[in-house]
Amino acid sequence: MQEDFSRGMHLLVDAYDVKGDLCDDFVGIVKWLDALPSKVGMRILRKAEAKRDSPPLCQPIDSGISAFVMLAESHASVHCWPKRHELQFDLYSCKPYDPRVIVSDLTEAFGIGRCKVKVIPRRDDA
């Protein structure tokens, strides 16, 4: 049975054993996130923005960077915890795309050792 993606696709990636330096590179994350949409034919409505959380807002082990880009087709975000060597990524789009392209780019750019990938169909059940 083929999945119904009539309302779009939501890609979720939980990554572990993240070895690359990009996970702790504020400017690099923004540049990577701004470059990503064009790789799957999407358009940026608002360039990526990022925020670094650090003590006293959180425990030192939980310090990290969160970034978000608004797309004409919806959004993409990445949340990095360099001291934990973890990141989470999501891309929602009403436009079809190949999630393998995104996961491959994410894995290479961030030096991901292992990850869990979930693709959630957003469908029209009306």
Average pLDDT for 18-28: 95
Domains of the chain, first to last? 8-122 (3.60.90.10)
pLDDT of residue 124: 65
Question: By three-state DSSP, how is residue 84 classified?
Answer: coil
**pLDDT band at 3, cuts 50/70/90?**
low
**pLDDT band at 60, cuts 50/70/90?**
confident
Say if residue 98's pLDDT is above 80.
Answer: yes
Average pLDDT for 64-87: 95
Say if residue 37's pLDDT is above 60.
Answer: yes
What pTM value is reported for the model?
0.90
- Cis peptide upstream of residue 56 (ω within 30 degrees of 0): yes
Give me the half-sphere count of Cα atoms (radius 13 Å) on the Cβ side of residue 27.
Answer: 0
Say if residue 7's pLDDT is above 90.
Answer: no
Quick check: 75 and 14 in contact, CB under 8 A?
no
pLDDT of residue 5: 54
**pLDDT band at 56, cuts 50/70/90?**
confident
